[in-house]
Structure 1
Amino acid sequence: MSVQQSNHRPTYQPGRPIPVPPDFPVQWPEPDLAHRMWTLDKMHFGLPLPPLAAEVWQQPIAAAFNDVAARYELPIRLTFVHLNGYLYNNYQPVGLPPDLVLKGLHRLGRVAPGPVAFIQQKAIAAMTRRYMARLQPVVDQLSAHWDNEWQPELQQHLTWWAEFDLPAASLPGLLAHLAESLRRLQRVWDIHFQIIVPTFLAVNQFDELYHHLFGQAEPLASFKLLQGFDNAFLQADRALADLSRQARAMPVVARTLRDTPPPAILAALDASPEGQVFGAELRCYLQRYGGRGQHVDGLAEPSWLEDPTPVFQNLKELLARPDRDLLAELQAQAADREACVAQARRRLQDRPIEVQHQFDLALKAAQTAAFLHEEHNFWIDQQAMACLRRVFLEVGRRLAEKGSLPQPDDIFYLTLAEAQASAAQPDLTRRDLVQHRRAALDHFSTVQPPEGLGTMPLAALPNDPFTRTMGRIFGSPLLPTGPAAAPGPSDTLSGNAAASGVVRGLVRVIHTLEQAGRLQPGEVLVTRAILPPWTPLFATAAAVITEVGGILSHSAIMAREYGIPAVLGVANATT
Structure 2
Amino acid sequence: MTEKSFPSPYDQAPAAGAEGWKDLYAYNLVFQQNRREVEEGKFWFCDSQHWPTVTKPFETIGFEFAVSCLGQYNTRHLLIPPANGIEFRIHNGYVFMSPVGVPEAEIAPRVPEFMARAGHYFQNWETLLEQWQGKIRGTIDELGALNFDALPDKVDINDVTSGKGTGPNNDLLAQYDALIALTYRAWQYHFEFLNLGYVAYLDFFSFCKEVFPGIPDQAVAKMVQGVDMELFRPDDELKKLAKLAIELGLTGLFGQTANPEQTLAGIEAAPGGAEWIAAFNDAKDPWFNFTVGNGFYAHDKYWLDHLELPLGYISDYIGRLQAGQTIDRPVAELVVERDRITEEYSELLSPEQLAAFEGKLGLARQVYPYVENHNFYIEHWTMGVFWRKARQLSAMLQEQGFWPDADGMFFLRRDEVREALFDYVTGWAVGAPAIGPSYWPEEVERRRVIVDALQQQRPQPALNTPPAVITEPFTLMLWGITSDQIKNWLGDSDAPEGEFRGMAASSGVAEGPARVISSSDQLSEVREGDILVAPVTAPSWGPIFGKIRATVTDIGGMMSHAAIVCREYGMPAVTGTGTASSQIVTGQWLRVDGNNGTVTIVEGHAHDLSLAGEAVVQLEQALDGPVLEGSHA
TM-score category of the 2 structures, normalised to the smaller one: 0.7 to 0.9
Tell me the residue number matched to 1:45: 51
Q: Is 1:295 matched with 2:293?
A: yes
Could you tell me how far apart the structure 2 residues matched to 1:544 and 1:270 are?
Answer: 37
Residue 262 (structure 2) aligned to one of 254, 258, 267: 267
Deviation per residue, 1:80-118 (Å, 9 max, x gap): 3333332223333355xxxxxxxxxxxxxxxxxxxxxxx
> SS where residue 286 of structure 1 aligns?
helix
* Counterpart amino acid of residue 331 in structure 2: L
Alignment of 1:335-414 (within 5 A): 335-348=336-349, 351-352=350-351, 354-414=352-412
Could you tell me how far apart the structure 2 residues matched to 1:255 and 1:205 are?
Answer: 52
Could you tell me how far apart the structure 2 residues matched to 1:534 and 1:82 are?
Answer: 27
Instruction: State the shift of 1:545 in Å.
Output: 0.8
1:446–1:155 Cα change, 3 Å: same
Deviation per residue, 1:355-406 (Å, 9 max, x gap): 2221111101211232111111111121111121122122112202212122
> SS where residue 186 of structure 2 aligns?
helix
Residue 254 (structure 1) aligned to one of 251, 256, 262: 251
1:178–1:487 Cα change, 3 Å: farther
Q: Is 1:223 matched with 2:221?
A: yes
Could you tell me how far apart the structure 1 residues matched to 2:67 and 2:359 are?
Answer: 32
Could you tell me how far apart the structure 2 residues matched to 1:84 and 1:164 are?
Answer: 34
Alignment of 1:403-482 (within 5 A): 403-426=401-424, 427=434, 428-429=436-437, 430-453=440-463, 456=465, 463=471, 467-477=472-482
1:551–1:571 Cα change, 3 Å: same
Stretches of structure 1 that go unaligned for 5 or more consecutive residues are 1-8, 96-121
> SS where residue 408 of structure 1 aligns?
coil
Could you tell me how far apart the structure 1 residues matched to 2:534 and 2:357 are?
Answer: 36
Alpha-carbon contact 1:12-1:481 (below 8 Å) kept: no
Tell me the residue number matched to 2:135: 153
Residue 11 (structure 1) aligned to one of 4, 22, 29: 4
TM-score by length of 2: 0.75
1:12–1:371 Cα change, 3 Å: same
> SS where residue 379 of structure 2 aligns?
helix
Tell me the residue number matched to 1:334: 335
> SS where residue 544 of structure 1 aligns?
strand
Instruction: State the shift of 1:233 in Å.
Output: 1.9
Alignment of 1:537-552 (within 5 A): 537-552=544-559
Deviation per residue, 1:233-258 (Å, 9 max, x gap): 2222111001112333466x53443x
Could you tell me how far apart the structure 1 residues matched to 2:306 and 2:170 are?
Answer: 29
Select between 291-300 and 18-27 the one with higher mean Cα deviation.
18-27
Give the paired residue count: 528
> SS where residue 42 of structure 1 aligns?
coil
Instruction: State the shift of 1:328 in Å.
Output: 6.7
Select between 220-229 and 173-182 the one with higher mean Cα deviation.
173-182
Alpha-carbon contact 1:54-1:87 (below 8 Å) kept: no
Residue 31 (structure 1) aligned to one of 3, 27, 33: 33
Could you tell me how far apart the structure 1 residues matched to 2:117 and 2:469 are?
Answer: 19
Residue 123 (structure 2) aligned to one of 121, 128, 141: 141
Tell me the residue number matched to 1:319: 318
TM-score by length of 1: 0.82
- The sequence identity of aligned pairs, in percent, is 21
* Counterpart amino acid of residue 81 in structure 1: R
Tell me the residue number matched to 1:112: none
Select between 477-486 and 154-163 the one with higher mean Cα deviation.
477-486
1:243–1:174 Cα change, 3 Å: farther
Stretches of structure 2 that go unaligned for 5 or more consecutive residues are 23-29, 152-167, 425-433, 584-633
> SS where residue 223 of structure 2 aligns?
helix
Instruction: State the shift of 1:49 in Å.
Output: 1.7
Select between 147-156 and 510-519 the one with higher mean Cα deviation.
147-156
1:138–1:47 Cα change, 3 Å: farther
Could you tell me how far apart the structure 2 residues matched to 1:502 and 1:482 are?
Answer: 24
1:503–1:371 Cα change, 3 Å: same
Alignment of 1:62-141 (within 5 A): 62-71=67-76, 72-74=78-80, 75-93=83-101, 123=105, 126=108, 129=111, 132-133=114-115, 136-137=118-119, 140-141=122-123
1:517–1:146 Cα change, 3 Å: farther
Select between 131-140 and 503-512 the one with higher mean Cα deviation.
131-140
1:523–1:134 Cα change, 3 Å: farther
Could you tell me how far apart the structure 2 residues matched to 1:401 and 1:17 are?
Answer: 40
Structure of higher RCO (CA pairs closer than 8 Å, 6+ residues apart): 1
* Counterpart amino acid of residue 269 in structure 1: L
Instruction: State the shift of 1:295 in Å.
Output: 2.7
1:520–1:476 Cα change, 3 Å: same
Alpha-carbon contact 2:79-2:110 (below 8 Å) kept: no
1:376–1:255 Cα change, 3 Å: same
Instruction: State the shift of 1:204 in Å.
Output: 2.0
Q: Is 1:572 matched with 2:568?
A: no
Alpha-carbon contact 2:148-2:389 (below 8 Å) kept: yes
